Amino acid sequence: MHQRRELLQGALVPATPGLEQAGQVRVRVHGDQSTLRDSALHFFMTDFACRSRERGRISRSSLENEREVAETMSMRLSKRVSVGYVAAVVGLAGALLTTPGASVRAESRESSPDPEIVGTWAVQVTLRNCDTNAPIGAPFNSLGTFQSGGTSIGSTASLAFAAGQRSAEHGIWSRRARRTFDEKIVALIVFDTAANLPGTAEYDPHLPVAPGLFSGWQTIIHTIKLDDADHYTSAGTTAFYKADGTLYRTGCSTAIGQRFE
């Protein structure tokens, strides 16, 4: 009897009651179906031999009949285990699909009827003449991140600023229309730098062209239009203020953005 109990315990482990009631797990299986079938067959044959020795008689015909019964019962056991295993997999899959945070978006951003600007963007900025829209100097790169809730942060690599002269950008944004957004940015100008402009007596061709800046701050106001979910164009104005709040320079610029992923 002790041997029979060990065989059964090696084949099956009872399911956890709470999970069985939830329909997630019907049975825990140790080993594959062929192992279970062989274990069950060995159990029934050993059980028959033990009972026969107790009665003091074993016959070939009885042994063969008992073997046929054991094989039939082991096949039924294998089928039950298969059904239980499938039920466990289906239940677990259903639980994962209904778990918050594990769901998969059914539509891509490209097919969204109302694309969002939230995310990080690689931006190329071009300074423009406000009257003619002609470009001024070479484009430069920036990074911008639009956060949910209407705030933004960013940084720029413009050579018009000396190293460490301009702080990171902080801003606010809002939706104007379905694919149109307004953004306003502010950045600190930490220290003064002299102008380095072609055609002036102070121009140094070995240094970047720079308009000359005073410590204070810079603001940028742009209107952004999404071309699709991953690309935008924008245009707007910029203004520079001294530390006492005096406006001393304005300008215009355009930009193109590509979503960073």
Residue 68 CA to residue 80 CA, distance in Å, equals: 19
Residue 174 CA to residue 117 CA, distance in Å, equals: 10
Mean pLDDT of the chain: 74
Residue 45 CA to residue 52 CA, distance in Å, equals: 10
Residue 76 confidence (pLDDT): 56
Q: Assign 51 a pLDDT band (cuts: 50, 70, 90).
A: low
Domain regions of the chain by residue span = 2-97, 115-259
User: Comparing 154 with 79, which gets the higher pLDDT?
Assistant: 154
Helices vs strands, H then E, count in the chain: 4, 10
Taking residues 7-23, what's their average pLDDT? 41
User: Comparing 224 with 97, which gets the higher pLDDT?
Assistant: 224
User: Comparing 144 with 100, which gets the higher pLDDT?
Assistant: 144
CB atoms within 10 A of CB 8: 11
pLDDT tens digits, 113-153 = 668 999 999 999 999 999 999 999 899 999 999 999 999 99
Task: Indicate the pTM of the whole model.
Answer: 0.58
Q: Which of 120, 110, 171 is nearest to 145 (CA)?
A: 120
* pLDDT of 168 strictly over 90: yes
CB neighbours of 195 closer than 8 A, spacing ≥ 6?
A: 202, 210, 211, 212
Residue 218 confidence (pLDDT): 98
Residue 17 confidence (pLDDT): 45
Taking residues 22-28, what's their average pLDDT? 39
User: Comparing 172 with 93, which gets the higher pLDDT?
Assistant: 172
Specify the CATH number of the domain 115-259. Answer: 2.40.128
* pLDDT of 85 strictly over 90: no
Q: Assign 107 a pLDDT band (cuts: 50, 70, 90).
A: very low
CB neighbours of 240 closer than 8 A, spacing ≥ 6?
A: 189, 213, 214, 216, 217, 218, 247, 248, 249, 250
Residue 163 CA to residue 54 CA, distance in Å, equals: 96
Contact call for residues 183 and 222 (beta carbons, < 8 A):
yes
User: Comparing 40 with 115, which gets the higher pLDDT?
Assistant: 115
Taking residues 185-206, what's their average pLDDT? 93
Taking residues 29-49, what's their average pLDDT? 49
Residue 228 confidence (pLDDT): 95
* Choice among 9-23, 199-213, 246-260 with the minimum mean pLDDT: 9-23
Q: Which of 215, 232, 255, 253 is nearest to 130 (CA)?
A: 253
Taking residues 148-167, what's their average pLDDT? 95
Specify the 3-state DSSP secondary structure of 261: coil
Amino acid 17 reads P
* pLDDT of 101 strictly over 60: no
